[in-house]
Structure 1
Amino acid sequence: MTSISVRIATAIRLALLGCMGFLFANVATALPLPPSIHDCNGSKDLIFAAHLDDDLLFMNPDVSANIDAGGCMLTVYLTASERRAGEDYMLARERGVRAAYAYLANKPDVWTQDTVAVGAYHLTRFTLTGDPKLQLIHMRLKDPWLGKGWGSLTPLSQTESIAGNMVDTLGSYHETYSRADLVATIASIIQGYGPTTVRHLDDTINIPYTELCWRCIGHGHPDHIASARLVRDAIKLAHGNYAEVAYVDYPTQERQINLNEKEINKKTEAFRRYAWKDYHACPDPQNCIAPAGPEASWVGRSYYVSRHNITPALFTDPEGGILILAKGEVNDAANIWNSRKQTWSALGGRTPDSLASFAYPDAANGFLARDALGIIWANKQNPDESWQGWQAMVGARFPRLPTVTSEGKTAAVGLANDGLLYWATASSTENRWAAWQPLPVLHQATSELAITTDAAGRLVIFATDVEGRLFTVQQIAAEDVEHWSSWNEIAAPIALGGLAALRNAHGLIELYLRDRANNHLLRIAQAAQPDSAANTPSPAIWNTATDLGVSFVGKPAVGLNEHGDVIVAVVDHPDGALWLYENDQAKKLSVNVVSSPALRVINGVLYIVARNAGQLQTYQVQEYRQGVWGTALTIAVPPAGGGSAFSVGVSGSPLAVVTDNGTQEKDN
């Protein structure tokens, strides 16, 4: 079957499942719909695990942290995890995960069992009696090894990888799934639950299933990889306002311990509660030493799967150099590269996302990071180049990192978990971020946003809705933090994200975005400056969109060159070329770039930085000085260690340093 035919068949199955409904009910009784975002304290986690214990070993402490924060959680286990030991062993392991979740919730291990019907399929569900926001669902796909070796295929991995294969279920209902059925069922669960975060295992291991081996470097379990690939395909069908977080599994043992003592102890105790019910893991629960072997390594670590297209950021070094800010693909931390010292420093934190740089009102460097629970954290650099430590920005949680500006004032805007747009500003006196405040409602808004200020000093925000229409809203007055205009639609081609905005040398706003029809870079310029004395600003008049003739992916980097002209840098496609658009001309600067670029003019010199293609996290820095492009500089990989939990007030002092020759040193 062709890939197009598979997609069509999958879409049909999903539509049929959607028509049948996602029913939290047994055969006789219809139960209420899934909890609302408000019932869940702003967080609804949906976890997909291949086996009964994958979530405890690889997705914790995020599991525990969400429960502690009062969030809702639905964990879906794809396989029966019976290892040819039959239904009794499956049920024992199911009792184990229930005991672990009850421990994490600090509630009695008492659960209510019923059946979830997803289309024609029947899934077993358990709801924690003491905290009904916690639920476990079991798809119970049979899970024996289909051969003698570790690399032998499993029913799930065969169904995922071999056309025409099917996988049967174990338990009360004897049902059969094709690959398309699995994807459609998972997509229906996502749409039915309405999560704020979907968590799954690592889909990026490219070693063929039959060549995987136990404890080999970089290898995983075929079921882990298969489950993650199925979830990723389901996400393409189940659109929504949620984050996607993937977790490294077996290979975490190859990385440094990155959990603190409290996190390790709680993760260990939760796994022990599970292991006491798993008679293969603990034949004698009274003398059980679990976690042991590789499990003992896994409980001390938790790492996110990093996509290579995460955008870096650029700062001005107070001493005249440049600073590159990047999320570490190995350490998950915020990392700073200093051009004067030619070193990386890890600043801590654990984030699955990119980082957003800005300048505080006193011109000090700052950046935002998002943790895996959707909380936004800010950090500020001191005059001595150390960092003040993390400040949590309260008032909302976000599935994606908000957009930030330092043009005129320091402010940020983002689409929160509840589907509303929020904004916040940094104080001009204390240099602290105020709480998130809601903007006027824009129905079906997306997280594709841009923010800047107009010539009157008022914040102006741009957003698109799910249909690709473009809207703008602005402050009534520059110092008015309570009143905003209504949203106004801007006549423009249907957009596909990629928004960026700034003021040009004439004080007029220029907006850049992607045309959905051809992926081209569009420019929409403000036609006239606003009346700064007006109590109620009139909607700005915008010129017709101009197609700049350059295709791009991700987000454009915009700025003013040394002459005050607007410049835009983009990447034309993944693993593609880096382009600079300046003075109505596009120039190709380099090739084999995977991330969107960052740019900044520092002391009259233009710098552009982007991630190189390849497994190693290296960056190229393009430099334009006095009309001449210099030789591109390659920056070595960030440190392997230095990630840690976000915590208010924790010093941002460097934890580790890596020099450009790749050696690692301790930074005292």
Structure 2
Amino acid sequence: MTRSVLHVIAHQDDDLYFMNPDLVRSLQDGDRVTTVVLTAGEGDGINADTGDPQRVAVPPDFVGYSTERGCGLRSAYARMVTGDRDRPWRREAVDLVPGFAAERFTLDGHDQVCLYFLQLHMGAPTERGTRTRLHELWEGALRTQATLPVRGGTVGEVQQVTREQVIGALTALLADVRPTMVRAMDPDPEHDGGKEEYVCSDHVDHTTTAQFTLAALARHREAGHYPVVEHYRAYANRFWGYNLDSVATAEKAEYLATYAGLDAPERCAHGTCETCGDRQLGGNPYRSTHMMSTAHRYTPTTTWLRLGPGGRLNAFGVLAGRLAFWTETGPATGEWKGPFVLGDGWLCPTLAVTGLPGGPAELVGLRRQNVVGGGVTVDVVHTAQDPDGGGFSGWRTLENPDWTHGDGRRQREAGVPSAAVDPAGRLHVFVRDYAQGVSLRRRDVSGAWGPWENLGGSFVQDAGAVLVTERGTVELYVPGKNSVWRWHQTEPGGAFLLDDTLKTGRPATGGVTAVDSGEGRTCLYFREAGTQQVMAYRQHPDGRWPGSGAGLGGHGGTGPVAALWAPERGAREAYLAHRGSRGRLVVSLPDRDKEVSGTHWHESGDMLAHAPAMAYDAAGAVTVAVIGTDGRLRVRRQLSPAVGSPLGPWR
């Protein structure tokens, strides 16, 4: 299947800041790449360094600034694909829906690379001296929003565009592009937890663009299409440990410098600009913290592969907002069938997957629902697999910790769930709440659900991991700003106690993995902020925690690390897998010889979505699974169950 990747962004630099290096990897891999820029990005209309005190004397030129930002984006794409920033583009007007045309640019010699500029005003002037905003169109407060044509464009007339036309245009583009993956912006950004009053961390255009994208995706799904969807965090990246290393940030800076016109010729190669590129960025791309991270809004998990009923491995994901389920054809066959796409509503991309060993899976997710007036509700939902491992019951709402609060913005920030079933069958569901602490809801042995409980904590990331210990207790680990928080029980079914003695060092945004390493000791795997190397942090035999983690290398990359403990080996010799710097699977397997210690990292396969998962199959062989950017499940299985056995080929 051909990989087709669609990006839908609000402004001309959003993909360069918030989706790169994933964007450039797709371009380098030769994927069909289409990017849609929803607004004109005209801002204040002044194309001068925002740090220049003389810019106040520069008169605004909204058309000119939008034109120059678009030229900068095309130059960056041309450089990412060909190395030549001035590579020409074929430019044409395209009628997306009746009454709404956009400009399409196709890169010369690379027909698989297209940019669409819809040019909706960020703020259209009114007779009253105010400006209308895009979010008002989404919310129904405006009937139409005007476009802002660029200089020298093929769409020269101002268009008055309705909400329905915007959704219809994006739906038409989805039908034409047939993406296997859609990269979108953050529909529910977190607030600034350091402020007493509510302050949204993100630009309202980012959120509105995500809303329009999801509305179009829902229609695309009804036509029978199920792409992978990834949402990217934007301004909120500044709150958490940076998750790109120096090599990745340097590459990101290189293309942003081209977008900013730092390498532009004196005269625009395409004859459209007075000043090529977005000069508001100034001469140093590194001065913006947007440079330092590229993170998913819904932190991926590594537990979506598990051994289920009948001794068959099951894999779980979300395709176009619905539960997707794959299963082995038989115990340890290595042959798979699926996906079976189930359910209704719209699920966010990350699921918590748990259950008793070998038993039916229990799944917990986040469901988004639009309400009248442009509002949204986000609730935590639960479903259980049938005992034979076939279908699933319907989704049951667990609401969320802030469900009854009068301010609807609070309940939209419910975090990605983490979940665990203890040996007695009690289900524990944890989420980050609005206060950026942790809340818990439990189902007891009788099947009755208790209320949400506040476990406390502050400034925790939206990226928890749960572990059921060999004693039957449940532990929760959540990265914070400078270390990892731990909640644990002293007895099965007991209260949760906070342990703040962990000294992991600053974890990068993107998750933590906890494994039982035997002898009552937990071992954590995560990435170190700023370097992205994989870190191991193993509890001492007496229950205390070490003063720092141990670096394991790991080929860079982002996201959580999948881990399985290897019998009679150490923390460095576990089975480890993660998404490396090229977006591909990177694994480390223990050596056959117990005397050979340390990690042995190897990259394989094509670019993957979210994060990999690992599990032992019915024969005891390790299986690694990924969902590719083509939406397909791919697996590698050990050739034999012996420790040190290599992985077989991709299936």
1:263-278 equivalences in 2 (<5 Å)? 263-276=248-261
Q: Relative to structure 1, is the Cα distance of residues 280 and 48 closer, same or farther in structure 2, using a 3 angstrom cutoff?
A: farther
- Is the counterpart of residue 355 in structure 1 residue 302 in structure 2? yes
Provide the rounded CA distance (Å) in 1 between the counterparts of 2:8 and 2:339: 40
The equivalent position to 1:621 in structure 2, one of 460, 473, 487, is: 487
1:25-36 equivalences in 2 (<5 Å)? none
1:169 is matched with which residue?
147
1:382 is matched with which residue?
none
The residue identity in structure 1 corresponding to 2:11 is H
Provide the rounded CA distance (Å) in 1 between the counterparts of 2:493 and 2:501: 24
- Offset at 1:241? 2.8
2:294 is matched with which residue?
303
Q: Deviations over 1:617-655 (max 9, x none)?
A: 996735262x772454366998655469999x9962359
- Is the counterpart of residue 578 in structure 1 residue 441 in structure 2? yes
The residue identity in structure 2 corresponding to 1:621 is W
Q: Deviations over 1:350-408 (max 9, x none)?
A: xx41232xxxxxxxxxxxxxxxxxxxxxxxxxxxxxxxxxxxxxxxxxxxxx4234999
Q: Relative to structure 1, is the Cα distance of residues 256 and 525 closer, same or farther in structure 2, using a 3 angstrom cutoff?
A: closer
Secondary structure in 1 matching 2:116: strand
The equivalent position to 2:74 in structure 1, one of 92, 98, 101, is: 98
Contact 1:259/1:302 (<8 A) preserved: yes
- Offset at 1:76? 0.7
The residue identity in structure 2 corresponding to 1:300 is M
Provide the rounded CA distance (Å) in 2 between the counterparts of 1:495 and 1:204: 17
Provide the rounded CA distance (Å) in 2 between the counterparts of 1:521 and 1:406: 15
Provide the rounded CA distance (Å) in 1 between the counterparts of 2:158 and 2:186: 29
1:75 is matched with which residue?
35
Secondary structure in 1 matching 2:141: coil
1:607 is matched with which residue?
474
Contact 1:127/1:134 (<8 A) preserved: yes
The equivalent position to 2:534 in structure 1, one of 652, 662, 666, is: 652
Q: Relative to structure 1, is the Cα distance of residues 279 and 551 closer, same or farther in structure 2, using a 3 angstrom cutoff?
A: same
1:339-488 equivalences in 2 (<5 Å)? 352-356=299-303, 402-405=304-307, 413=315, 447-449=323-325, 461=327, 474-475=329-330, 478=331, 480-481=333-334
The equivalent position to 2:107 in structure 1, one of 128, 131, 147, is: 128
TM-score with structure 2 setting the length: 0.53
Q: Relative to structure 1, is the Cα distance of residues 204 and 569 closer, same or farther in structure 2, using a 3 angstrom cutoff?
A: closer
- Is the counterpart of residue 56 in structure 1 residue 3 in structure 2? no
2:560 is matched with which residue?
none
Q: Relative to structure 1, is the Cα distance of residues 481 and 263 closer, same or farther in structure 2, using a 3 angstrom cutoff?
A: closer
Provide the rounded CA distance (Å) in 2 between the counterparts of 1:255 and 1:514: 25
Q: Deviations over 1:600-621 (max 9, x none)?
A: 5434342154879x99999673
- Offset at 1:111? 1.5
2:117 is matched with which residue?
138
Greater alpha carbon shift after TM alignment, 173-182 vs 138-147: 138-147
2:387 is matched with which residue?
525
The residue identity in structure 2 corresponding to 1:606 is T
Q: Relative to structure 1, is the Cα distance of residues 596 and 522 closer, same or farther in structure 2, using a 3 angstrom cutoff?
A: farther
Contact 1:501/1:509 (<8 A) preserved: no
The residue identity in structure 2 corresponding to 1:404 is R
2:453 is matched with which residue?
591
Secondary structure in 2 matching 1:629: coil
Provide the rounded CA distance (Å) in 2 between the counterparts of 1:262 and 1:572: 33
The equivalent position to 2:210 in structure 1, one of 210, 216, 228, is: 228
Contact 1:219/1:251 (<8 A) preserved: yes
The residue identity in structure 2 corresponding to 1:449 is F
2:498 is matched with which residue?
633
Provide the rounded CA distance (Å) in 2 between the counterparts of 1:587 and 1:655: 34
Secondary structure in 2 matching 1:200: strand
Q: Relative to structure 1, is the Cα distance of residues 203 and 130 closer, same or farther in structure 2, using a 3 angstrom cutoff?
A: same
- Offset at 1:254? 5.9
- Is the counterpart of residue 112 in structure 1 residue 94 in structure 2? no
The residue identity in structure 2 corresponding to 1:578 is R
Provide the rounded CA distance (Å) in 2 between the counterparts of 1:161 and 1:496: 19
Q: Number of paired residues?
A: 443
The residue identity in structure 1 corresponding to 2:81 is A
Q: Relative to structure 1, is the Cα distance of residues 567 and 449 closer, same or farther in structure 2, using a 3 angstrom cutoff?
A: farther
Contact 2:325/2:339 (<8 A) preserved: no
Provide the rounded CA distance (Å) in 2 between the counterparts of 1:590 and 1:139: 44
Q: Percent identity?
A: 17
Contact 2:381/2:398 (<8 A) preserved: yes
Q: Relative to structure 1, is the Cα distance of residues 113 and 619 closer, same or farther in structure 2, using a 3 angstrom cutoff?
A: same
Provide the rounded CA distance (Å) in 1 between the counterparts of 2:199 and 2:442: 37
Provide the rounded CA distance (Å) in 2 between the counterparts of 1:552 and 1:100: 44
- Offset at 1:251? 5.0
Provide the rounded CA distance (Å) in 2 between the counterparts of 1:549 and 1:61: 37
Contact 2:13/2:73 (<8 A) preserved: yes
Contact 1:512/1:556 (<8 A) preserved: no
The residue identity in structure 2 corresponding to 1:355 is T
Contact 2:37/2:117 (<8 A) preserved: yes
Contact 1:49/1:75 (<8 A) preserved: yes
Greater alpha carbon shift after TM alignment, 495-504 vs 632-641: 495-504
Q: Deviations over 1:538-569 (max 9, x none)?
A: xx9x9x999999968998956562xxx54444
Provide the rounded CA distance (Å) in 1 between the counterparts of 2:509 and 2:381: 36
Provide the rounded CA distance (Å) in 2 between the counterparts of 1:111 and 1:242: 28
- Offset at 1:75? 0.8
- Offset at 1:48? 1.8
Structure 1: stretches of 5+ with no match in the other structure: 1-37, 308-351, 357-401, 420-444, 451-460, 462-472, 527-539, 658-663
Secondary structure in 2 matching 1:174: coil
Aligned CA RMSD, in angstroms, stands at 5.8
Provide the rounded CA distance (Å) in 2 between the counterparts of 1:601 and 1:196: 36
- Offset at 1:135? 0.5
Q: Relative to structure 1, is the Cα distance of residues 185 and 559 closer, same or farther in structure 2, using a 3 angstrom cutoff?
A: same
- Offset at 1:60? 1.9
Provide the rounded CA distance (Å) in 2 between the counterparts of 1:174 and 1:53: 23
Provide the rounded CA distance (Å) in 1 between the counterparts of 2:363 and 2:533: 38
Contact 2:187/2:211 (<8 A) preserved: yes
Provide the rounded CA distance (Å) in 1 between the counterparts of 2:62 and 2:395: 63
